[in-house]
Structure 1
Amino acid sequence: MGTEKVPRNEKKKVYKTIFFTIGVVALLFVGLLGYGVYWAFFNMNRLPTSEYLTEESSPDGKYTLKAYVANGGATTSYTVRGELVFNQKDRKAKNIYWNHKEDSADIKWLDNDNLMINGHSLDVPKDKFDFRNQ
């Protein structure tokens, strides 16, 4: 009387639901963990504050690259950060250059959209140089 059998199809549905739920939770956890690592270690918008070095405008005046030097303290080397400013558009400036073991910035515009900074060529605004990704 008290021993009713659960049909096999019902067991399969329960197992599928459990595995699906576990899979979704695991996928969300891995995604959040991956984003957290990116945010903490690789997001260029979280670079430390810096001291102004120099700036150079593109030949057509569309962009300005401002260079800053950051001093990480006694245990780390100087780093140079390059910030691209959009002069003619209402866009937020973005960091396009970050390199360690440098304390100066040699900026030369090759044409309206290409520049050379400390030997690294960048096609602005789409390229970025970050020593942590090399």
Structure 2
Amino acid sequence: MRKIISGTALVLTAALLTGCGSDDGPPKADKSANASMKPKPGSGNSEVKHEVTLEVLGHGTSQVYYNLNTNKMEKVQLPWKKTSTVTLTTDAEKRIGTTVSVVPGSVYNADGTMRAAACVITVDGKKVADNEGGKSNKMCEYNLK
């Protein structure tokens, strides 16, 4: 039980730290960094949109931590699904990507022990990440480009 709690705490901390940040963009004082983020003439300034679906499977209620446009934590009824359109607008987002993730809470096994709930990430209808039906203690995450 301690391993599950410690592992879950570690995964949740990593997920929350990964998603922490500001939507204010790069620091205003660094002109050279801002210059490299501007679109090049003729490179096009089109947006790239992806439909992203996060799922946590199982029965009962559980805490779910996710990063999909924003970081959120919710107590949910399982199975749970969240779909959103993620729009990549800058050249940096298109080139480097942005991380979408879900950290499932724990659910009970038939024998009364606890394990991580199963999670799945689907992008534009294609499964891109899962935690092997809850067999892996890793969260589900994907770098969206």
- Flag the structure with higher helix content: 1
TM-score (norm 1): 0.29
More strand by share: 2
TM-score (norm 2): 0.28
RCO higher in 1 or 2 (8 Å CA, sep ≥ 6)? 2
